[in-house]
Amino acid sequence: MSDFVRPRHDAERLRIQVGVIRKAMRHRIGAGPAKGSVPPRDDGEVHYLFRAGHALVHEKDTPRLERFFAARGREFRGGLLRKETRLPGLALVELPRRLDGKDDVLATLDELDRELGPGRVTPDHVVYVTPTGTMCPATEPVSGKDLPDAVFPKPGDDPSVGKGVRVGVVDTGLWVPAVTSPVTPWLDGVVADPADQEVVDPAHIHPYAGHGTFVAGVIRCLAPGTRIEVEGVLTHGGAVFESEIVAQLDEALRDDDHPQLISISAGTHTRRDFALLAFEILAAAHGLDDGEETLVVAAAGNDASSDRFWPAAFPWVVAVGSVDPDGAVSDYSNVGPSWVDVYARGRDLVNAFPQGSYTCYEPPHLGEVRHFDGLARWSGTSFSTPVVTGLVAARMSATGESARTAWAAVRAAGTSSVDPRGGHITTVGPLT
Which residue numbers are catalytic? 171, 211, 382
Torsion sign (Cα): 271, 277, 283, 284:
positive
Label the pairing between strands 295-299 and 261-264: parallel
What CA dihedral angle connects 165, 343, 50 and 68, to 10 degrees? Answer: 90
Label the pairing between strands 54-58 and 90-94: antiparallel
Backbone angles phi, psi at 172, to 5 degrees: -90, 0
Radius of gyration of the chain (CA): 21
Cβ–Cβ contacts within 10 Å for residue 174, how many? 27
What string of DSSP letters covers 353-382? EEEEEEE--STTSTT-EEEEEEEEEE-SHH
Alpha-helical (H) ranges within 229-268 are: 242-254
Amino acid at 271: R
First to last CA, the chain: 35
Find residue 67's DSSP bridge partners.
Answer: none
Residues 431, 149, 373: CA angle, nearest 5 degrees:
115
Label the pairing between strands 121-122 and 54-58: antiparallel
Whole-angstrom distance, CA of residue 181 vs CA of residue 186: 9
